């Protein structure tokens, strides 16, 4: 059954602190107007801490679509304001990894992304939750969290994924494995791990980590890189990046609706690229939580 069409009126919210946000803010406004989308308001937000308040005010004023420009952290920072509201989530992928956009099969080019917002369709998708905090795509425990806590903003903004890789190699020297305990309500799994990915989407760090499930699966994927070897962690990322035949040799998958996650020692958690929590936590799926704008399927016309 066809859903309601995408709105033709929207509020634009761009994180100008994101990698491409400052450079593309004016271009986004121009292209959206040219595509026939009337902007009720447009906000260039330099302080990421203000994004949630700006989105909250836009939703309260009745905007039918909130178009948010930035990376995964930006999207996660505003998505709580859209849950339970009659407001479509529009995405302009202007960040470093853009994993949520990749999980939704959205184009990463600005002009193509605007075309989706003007000519696409609504899609009801899941969100993930860490305790009471919603996230759009993925959370992680381990080396990515260490990178997220320590990577210089200038390196993240100007070097992109290459900068992340360089900082990862530097951070790996002092990183240590940890004991992981996953309780899914019926069984408890205990193992050593060097990284844990809590996935609502299929991508993380811009890399496809799973080709099944995703944002409409109605469950979470917990992916643990098992053992204590840093080399195995590097091999896992390499194999998944290049989609090798044995890309799952170093990791173990757990699927379910809800997990209690405990580690020894306690570990910080990066949620869509922002370090915001610490174990122990409860991770769960929020099924069919929001409407997002996605590309129209070819067979639908």
Q: Helix or strand or coil: residue 128?
A: strand
Closest to 31 in 3D by CA, of 104, 85, 94? 94
9-125+290-300 adopts what CATH topology? Rossmann fold (3.40.50)
pLDDT tens-digit series, residues 258-272: 999 999 999 999 999
pLDDT digits (tens, 9 = 90+) for 8-23: 999 999 999 877 888 8
Whether the CB-CB separation of 123 and 110 falls below 8 Å is answered with no
> pLDDT band for position 161 (50/70/90)?
low
CATH number for the region 135-288 comes to 2.60.200.40
Q: Is the per-residue pLDDT at 301 higher than 50? A: no
Asked whether 181 and 189 are in contact (CB, 8 A), the reply is: yes
For 64-98, b where at least 16 C-beta lie within 10 A, e where not — what string?
bbbbbbbbbbbbbbbbbbbeebebbbbbbbbbbbb
pLDDT at residue 163 tops 90: no
Query: How many angstroms separate the CA atoms of 132 and 130, rounded?
Result: 6
pLDDT at 67: 98
Regarding beta strands 281-294 and 188-199, do their DSSP bridges make them parallel or antiparallel, or are they unpaired?
unpaired
Q: What length is written for the chain?
A: 301
Helix (H) / strand (E) element for 124: namely: strand 121-130
Question: Model confidence over 250-260: pLDDT tens digits?
Answer: 999 999 999 99
Angstrom distance (rounded) from CA 27 to CA 21: 10
pLDDT > 70? residue 287: yes
Percentage with pLDDT > 70 across the chain: 91
**Domain ranges across the chain:** 9-125+290-300, 135-288
pTM value surpassing 0.75: yes
């Amino acid at each position: 059954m066809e859903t309601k069409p995408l709105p033709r009126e929207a509020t634009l919210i761009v994180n100008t602190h994101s990698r491409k946000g400052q450079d593309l803010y004016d271009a986004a406004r121009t292209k959206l107007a040219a595509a026939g989308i009337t902007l009720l308001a447009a906000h260039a937000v330099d302080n990421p801490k203000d994004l949630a308040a700006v989105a909250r005010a836009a939703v309260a004023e009745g905007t039918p679509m909130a178009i948010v420009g930035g990376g995964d952290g930006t999207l996660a920072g505003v998505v709580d304001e859209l849950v339970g509201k009659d407001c479509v989530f529009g995405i302009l992928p202007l960040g470093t990894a853009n994993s949520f956009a990749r999980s939704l099969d959205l184009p990463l080019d600005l002009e193509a992304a605007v075309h989706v917002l003007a000519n696409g369709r609504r899609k009801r998708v899941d969100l993930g939750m860490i305790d009471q905090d919603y996230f759009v795509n993925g959370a992680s425990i381990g080396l990515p969290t260490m990178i997220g806590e320590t990577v210089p903003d200038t390196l993240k903004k100007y070097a992109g994924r290459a900068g992340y890789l360089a900082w990862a190699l530097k951070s790996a020297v002092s990183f240590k494995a940890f004991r992981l305990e996953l309780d899914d309500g019926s069984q408890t799994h205990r193992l050593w791990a060097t990284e844990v990915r809590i996935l609502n989407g299929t991508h993380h760090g811009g890399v496809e980590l799973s080709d099944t499930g995703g944002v409409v699966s109605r469950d979470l994927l917990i992916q643990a890189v098992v053992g204590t070897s840093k080399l195995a962690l590097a091999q896992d990322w390499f194999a998944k990046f290049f989609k090798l035949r044995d890309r799952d040799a170093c990791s173990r998958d757990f699927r379910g609706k809800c997990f209690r996650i405990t580690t020894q020692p306690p570990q910080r958690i990066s949620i869509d690229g922002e370090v915001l929590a610490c174990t122990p936590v409860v991770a769960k799926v929020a099924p069919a939580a929001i409407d997002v704008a996605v590309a129209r399927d070819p067979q639908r016309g």
